[in-house]
Amino acid sequence: MENAAVDPIPVVALGNDGDGLAQTTAGRVFVPGTVPGDEILLTSQTDTHGTLERVVSPGSTRVTPPCSLFGTCGGCRLQHMARPAILEWKAGRVVETLRHAGFDTVPTPVTRQVSPHGRRRVDLAFRRAGKEIVLGLHRRRGAVVDMTECTLLAPALLALLAPLRAMLHSLPAVHAGGDIQINLLDSGPDLLIAMDGTPDTNDRRILAEFSKTHGIARISLHARPPETLAQAGPVFHHFDGVRIVPPPGAFLQPAREGEEAIRNAVVAGLPRKGLKAGIIELYAGCGTLSFALATHAKVHAYEGDRAALACLKQASGGTRVLPALRDLNRQPVMANELAKSAAVVLDPPHAGAGAQMAQIITGKPRCVIYVSCNPVALQRDLTPLAQAGYRLDNLTVIDQFLWSAEVEAVCVLTLPATRPRR
């Protein structure tokens, strides 16, 4: 319904998705593009959402967005808010999540925030628009917005977008459009492309020339399994000095600074004694944490993705990493094995650890280090640990998804020793 409010409406908080929470006479509504402290007017309002007309009086944390595409491009939600305030909000959200999980004492979090222009992984869509290719992100529930600038992307990736548009336009296999994932590896950009046509010899020639000209390590077709369409040289990346060969579309933390902050927090959380019993690492991926952990103890690294595990196996020779294939939701590592470890380290997917948590609770390992990218899953997975008597010793909150509502957290939990009865 139309809202003809004359008096400005105060924005009192941020919702979990980063939209401002405004206090209207009819109740609270979510208003994108606002920050706490704003006094605003709305053009329209439903039961739960409002549309911003203008800001009458700005809140103290409101800033000018650094990117002219903000509000159109779907990549950022909070560029109108000062970065220190965003980090403070994210840290507060994680602390509140852990309190809801049942931890009476939540330590003051160590906080880290990555720098702009540091993102090395991006998923983009591309569409034919007349004689041009539009390449970028979808606006909220809308069309693709051409990414002509970006305050997130690493300069090497941003510089690649213009020649990439020209190359995609020349591909016969691109009819209406497709999607492309780019990882910036140590060997250079690694591309995984999905197209709405089937690439032929001419497409492969164009891709090979593009790969050679622009130093693209590899271009692969999104298929099962992925097919290499062009490769200009060896494909490689390093985790803690160990050289790996990532599969196409491999998972990387979005920023190198964020990866380092996570790794440092995990390693710092390891127990100082008893590491001879070894570490169990769940959801090991290609070894983001594995090789750092292996400098302290033997690591039993479990991963369910075959391509990631093959990468980890190939790189683990001569290290103390022992990789194993395991679908941890269908076949979790059992409680008796977990109980014998010095520490259990897990970095589960966005949905959380699922069935694996029941075995951790039953096994009661002395130390659990949980890396989370989703506060909802974090609360669900850690609630039974709080109920089982685990103590939250250390908390690190990392903002590596700049200007978004996403947040990373590293929680170090220990189970206090019980005195034996006489």
Annotated binding-site residue? 347: yes
Annotated binding-site residue? 283: yes
Annotated binding-site residue? 53: no
Please give the positions annotated as active site.
Answer: 373
**Per-residue 3-state assignment (H helix, E strand, C coil) for the chain:** CECCCCCCEEEEEECCCCCEEEEECCEEEEECCCCCCCEEEEEEECCCEEEEEEEEECCCCECCCCCCCECCECCCCCCCECHHHHHHHHHHHHHHHHHHHCCCCCCCCEEEECCCCCECEEEEEEEEECCEEEEEEECCCCCEEECCCCCCECHHHHHHHHHHHHHHHHCCCCCCEEEEEEEEECCEEEEEEEECCCCCHHHHHHHHHHHHHCCCCEEEECCCCCEEEEECCCCCEEECCEEECCCCCCCCCCEHHHHHHHHHHHHHCCCCCCHHHCEEEECCCCCCCHHHHHCCCCEEEEECCHHHHHHHHHHCCCCCEEEEECCCCCCCCCHHHHHCCCEEEECCCCCCCCCHHHHHHHHCCCEEEEEECCHHHHHHHHHHHHHCCCEEEEEEEEECCCCCCCCEEEEEEECCCCCCCC
Annotated binding-site residue? 390: no
Q: Which residues are annotated as a binding site for S-adenosyl-L-methionine?
A: 253, 283, 303, 347
